[in-house]
Structure 1
Amino acid sequence: MTRAVFALVVGALTATAAAQEPPPDPAAARALFEEANGATAAGRFADARDLYRRSLALQANPATAFNLAVALTRTGEFVEAVRRFDALLEGSLGALSRTQRREVRHLRAEAEDSVATLRLRLPPIDGLEVRVDGQRREGVARLDPGEHIVAVTSPRHRPLEVEVALERGESRDLRPTLQLRPALTRGRLVVEAPEGGHLTLAGAGEAMGRLDLELEAGAYELTLVADGRSRQREVVVEAGTTSRYEVRLAPQRRWWLWAIGGVLVAGAVTTAIVLTRTEQPPREDPVYGTITALRFY
């Protein structure tokens, strides 16, 4: 906007403000307003912005609010400028003429076109919090063009900080990738065989009757050697928690006979080792929590 247009609108809005009730400190507000106008004329928009804010705090004046909004567009603070223009259009600072409203709408549209948009595409993680430049945000963040710091935190993940540089009017998606905290990439596995037997967890460890290991989360092959036989089952270690399994041996099945071509042949189901999960659901232990039962056949 040229200086001539700026001065013309200021004068018109000042006349409207004169009909309002006397402010608490009109003299100080007016002095700051005039000083801010001088800073604006000299191109010192950051100084003008601060002076207009101080004046507006002393007197709710549409002329001051308008000039503040214009100064904000000069300092690149378009998000706040849009809010200031909206307040003027809502009439919260005083009535505007048709010409004034047209000018405010025009400048608001220009400021809105300069606002950048950052769409936060976040994973479904409990306790996830996102802050942009220190302010908590969700969904879509309307930002001024320039550099911004996006901080993402979660109780179970490493903090993530991303620097984002946005152009005027730019719209961008941000999809942060979080990593589990080191302690939460591992879990504890406890396997107990009350009836005895040698337990081996592939690539991790072995013990008689009881395994208690801290491991990376994932699936592992468990081998039980008991009564002269070896059986395998898969167990799963969950990150950040203790996975408990209890091993039970199914009763031995009896030998049986069948006839092939008139010849009796003896056999037993134990000649082929088949491992199946027990039909019994996990049980809750008052001390150890959920215990999954494994039955070896």
Structure 2
Amino acid sequence: MSLTSDPPIGKAPPIPEADDYAALKVVPARHPWRWVATFAVAVLLAQFVHGLVTNQAWDWNTFGLYFSSETIIKALGVTLELTLYGTVIGFVLGVVLAFMRLSASPLLKGVAFGYVWAFRSIPLIVQVIFWFNLTVLYEHLSIGVPFGPGFFSFKTLDLGPLGAAVLGLSLHQAAYFAEIVRGGVLSVDGGQLEAASALGIPRLRQLRRIVLPQAMRSILPSAANEVISLFKGTSIVSVVAIGELFHQVQVIYGRNGRVIPLLLVATFWYIVLTSVLSVAQYYVERHFSRGART
């Protein structure tokens, strides 16, 4: 005779009645440290906001005076101009370098690798100053037959600070864009290209219709980060006295001594435009990710 209430072997245990569940006491999970952390962060945030409002050293009146002034808006235009030129020229050259790295030619591979290695090794500020002083090495540059007559020439002195800055930013970004594009192309399954070749699809069409649409999903996030970094990195060209945002802020607070509010002006504009670029990145990525699992 069995002394236990276990059900016979092969039979399921009886299902409890609804009243049995109602009699159970439900105890919610407690997370005391989560509440402690939340309270601590809330206190720190409140102290920070209180300091922004009450500390007179922030000088919000000066901030409001210069935030949308004509001088700052013009300087912001120069910053956006440098970003646009650096992005377009750098990306085009980066695509060329990427496909040189992917080429079967040892010479093209070696040259592209050497370019990427060199320009990623040299700090951007050094590159900008170097191109600004290019006239010390070459007074004239000409385009024509190699080792022969030139058809077009210009003085390197005419390059000016803005041209030197664009050249430095573009060549610097090209090295990074090259690796981003190369990684995106390598992420595409090679079997698709083999199938396209078997179907007789021309090489250029394979690149345009098969490789690039899929590679863009990998290229865009990193490329967008590089554009945002370039936008903030344009402040480096202030070393050659170009009137971009940061340089103009330095000039103003050098005259009136209002360092903190002027730095806030630059900070807020960088935050605003970086946010705009991030929103644009979201929509462009969504466009190229259609039909793919996100």
Larger radius of gyration: 1
**TM-score w.r.t. structure 1 length?**
0.16
When you count strand as a share of all residues, which structure comes out higher? 1
Bigger relative contact order, structure 1 or 2 (CA pairs below 8 A, ≥6 apart): 2
User: TM-score when scaled to structure 2?
Assistant: 0.17
